[in-house]
Amino acid sequence: MTAIHSIYKNHQLPVLLIMAVLVYAFLLALSWMVNMTLLPLAVLLIIPVAYFGLKSLNKPLLWLFLIIGGSYAGNTLHLFEGFTVPISLFQLFFLSGLFLLVLNRIYTGQFNFRLSGLELELSLFSALMFLSIIYSPEPDDALLFAVRTVVTALLLYFILNVVEHKNELPVILAFVTVLGLGMAIFSIRDGLMNPEAAILSAVSGGAKLFSRASTTQTDPNVFATYFFLPIAFSSCIIVSKVKMSYRIVCAIFLVILVAGIASTFSRSSWVSVILMLVLIALIYRQVKLFVWLGIFGVLALILLPDLRITALNIIQRFTDIFAGSTDDSSRIRVVQMYAAVQMFIDTNMIGVGLRGYAVSILDFYSYQELIGIVLPHNVTYTILAELGLIGIMLFLFIIYRLTRDSYLNIRYASDELSRVVATSLFVSLMAFFMFFQFIGGGLPDNNVWLIIGLVYATKHTLLSRAQDA
């Protein structure tokens, strides 16, 4: 006799139902009192998530899909929002995934963890970040930033240790592409297909933008980076030698994804995507294809007046990023670069300390001169100013190692699909490197470490296959 039959026979079911209703009513009241409206929903999700977690004990890779979904959810949902540090879905799934990975190793008795080969460089850079907190003008913010960066970097090792076979990587990239496609559709609806916003942007001549979509992020620029890997994967499929049906589907996806990133009006992301497409054209030797796409794009602009207005708006924002005079945000980047060099020199190449840039820049320029923009807009000069000569040397060496290893994966690839995966990850990583030359942050970015983790998982699977052969 099963436990359920026993409960039913002993007339315990009504009592259990009443208790469940009372507990849930208590949770509703508690959520109202502490302003945690999603608490009852979170409790309802405990059972399916727990079941999924048990399944993940045998195959931790399954949890990676939840982590990716949480990362792409961005700022749409935070748990415990009243707390000092709100917990996002990504953080919840990621920390749970690390715990499940440890349980999996205990359960299977296998305590060997794969390493990337970057441990020394990453350890030295992390140690320098924590050391610089001592003389940072913002020690609390610096400590939080350093911890976030180190914890997020563990995503590299989670991915490296849950991906076992090269056939799993195309599935992961396809999943990311589908997520990006869904976000692009919402982005187009909120941006390019928003008549009121389009009219206001057109009337202002592109000087003001009223339709910058940022569906899951407060910053449209950061939101635009969510399309890098989907665009790269779709583009590589199109120019590869895989089945024609896959190439046609990805061509449709690519049109939607490009429209999605256009609706963000993020000039930094456009520059990065152009770099991606140029690299793909060079790697696959498909320059003619991209020339034809450019010709079709020009014809579309000639035949569609509404598209022409949007395109002019986009072109204006694109050229402003290099002009340095027609746009305040473009001009301030030049000022911030000069300030970073001055900080580097004035501190005898030691740096002002982690997260100290925003405070130290006011020693060189007034708040009015900076039009209120004190946060740095370039990861390279930020590290130069905050972590000094040692920091910038470590950072550039890490970038070199990442670039080299991701590019070598393309050479290691022995089949077409592996080459698509390796190329997609390489060009996406290059796009992120370019992007964060125009936007601040980058070190604790979820998607950057997701791609780095996939790069080294690809390297492991390709080298393992080569050794087996």
86-136 pLDDT, tens digit per residue, is 677 888 889 888 988 888 888 777 788 899 999 999 999 999 999 999 999
Mean predicted confidence (pLDDT) in 162-169: 92
Q: Which two tokens stand for residue 300?
A: 């579309």
Q: What percent of the chain has pLDDT over 70?
A: 71
Angle between helices 379-412 and 446-468 (to 10 degrees): 20
Mean pLDDT of the chain: 81
Amino acid occupying residue 335? V
Highest-confidence segment of 42-51, 59-68, 375-384: 375-384
Report residue 434 CA to chain centroid gap: 14
Question: Could you read off the pLDDT of 293-323 as tens digits, one per residue?
Answer: 777 667 766 765 655 666 666 666 556 655 5
Name the more confident of 204 and 138. 138
Does the pLDDT value for residue 13 go beyond 70?
Answer: no
Q: Report the Cα–Cα distance between both ends of the chain, in Å, rounded.
A: 53
Q: What pLDDT was estimated at residue 104?
A: 81
140 or 288: whose pLDDT is higher? 140
Looking from the CA of 119 toward its CB, the CA atoms found within 13 Å total 6
Tokens coding 123: 């350890």
Confidence of residue 4 (pLDDT cuts 50, 70, 90): very low
Q: How far apart are alpha carbons 444 and 439 in whole angstroms?
A: 13
Q: What percent of the chain has pLDDT over 90?
A: 47
Q: Is the pLDDT of residue 227 over 70?
A: yes
CA distance 275 to 231: 12
Token code pair at residue 348: 């005898």
β-strand pairing of 78-79 with 87-88: antiparallel
Check: CB of residue 349 under 8 Å from CB of residue 388.
yes
Contact 42, 96 (CB under 8 A): no
At 57-97, the pLDDT tens digits run: 677 888 899 899 989 886 555 555 454 456 778 888 898 88
d(CA 256, CA 262): 10
- pLDDT at position 314 is 60
Using CA atoms of 151, 152, 154, 156 in order, give the dihedral in degrees to the nearest 10: -170
> At residue 389, does pLDDT exceed 80?
yes
pLDDT at 207: 41
- pLDDT tier at 463, thresholds 50, 70, 90: confident
Return the pLDDT at 428.
98
Rounded to whole angstroms, the Cα distance separating 329 from 282 reads 32
Contact at 8 Å (CB) between 345 and 128? no
